[in-house]
Amino acid sequence: MSDEENKFPGENNTGHFWDDDLRELDNEPPTWWTIGFHASWIFVIIYTLLYPSWPGINTHFKGLLGWTSITEYKEDLKSIENIRAPYESKIKDMSAAEILADDNLSKYVTASGKVLFGDNCSACHGAGGQGNVGFPVLADDDWLYGGTITDIETTINAGRQGIMPGHAAMLDDAKIDSLSSSIFEGKAIENAAYTEAGCIGCHGADGKGLSFMGSANLVDGIYRFTAADQLASIKHTIKYGVNDAANSESRNAVMPAFGGGKLSDTEIKKLAVYVHKLGGGL
Rg (Cα) of the chain, in Å, rounded? 37
Only one of the segments 153-161, 190-198, 217-225, 244-252 lies at the binding site for another protein (rule: CB under 8 A); that segment is: 217-225
- 36 near another protein, judged by CB under 8 A: no
Min separation Cβ 152 and another protein, Å: 16
Shortest CA distance to 100 belongs to which of 279, 277, 280, 220?
Answer: 277
How many residues are given for the chain? 282
Contact with another protein (CB under 8 A) among 88, 98, 142, 244: 142
102 touching another protein, by CB under 8 A: no
Distance CA 268, CA 256 (A): 13
CB 165 → another protein: shortest distance, Å? Answer: 25
Bridge partners of 164, per DSSP, are 242
Burial environment of residue 155 by CB neighbours within 10 A (0 to 12, 13 to 18, 19 or more): buried
Q: Per rule CB under 8 A, is residue 140 in the interface with another protein? A: yes
Q: Distances from the Cα of 263 to the Cαs of 77, 108, 138, 260, 276, in angstroms?
A: 20, 18, 19, 7, 18
Q: Judge whether 111 and 118 are in contact, CB under 8 Å.
A: no
User: Which of 100, 137, 176, 242 is in the footprint of another protein by CB under 8 A?
Assistant: 137
How far, in Å, CA of 56 to CA of 64, rounded?
A: 16
- Considering only residues 163 through 182, tell me which ones interact with another protein, judged by CB under 8 A: none
220, 243, 244, 266: which one binds another protein (CB under 8 A)? 220
Q: Which of 127, 192, 227, 254 binds another protein (CB under 8 A)?
A: 127
Q: Does 215 bind another protein (CB under 8 A)?
A: no
- Are 63 and 51 within 8 A, CB to CB? yes
Closest distance to another protein from the beta carbon of 217 (Å)? 6
Measured CA to CA, the distance from residue 234 to residue 230 in angstroms comes to 6
C-beta pairs of 200-206 under 8 Å, 24+ apart in sequence: 202/164
CB of 30 vs another protein, minimal distance in Å: 11
Show the site string, 222-251: x = touches another protein by CB under 8 A, - = not.
x-----------------------------
**Complex with another protein: residue 17 or 223, whichever CB lies closer:** 223
Closer residue to another protein, CB minimum distance, 131 or 165: 131
Q: CA-CA distance, 200 to 206, in Å (whole number)? A: 8
Enumerate binding residues for another protein (CB under 8 A): 126-131, 137, 139-142, 217, 220-222, 277, 279-280
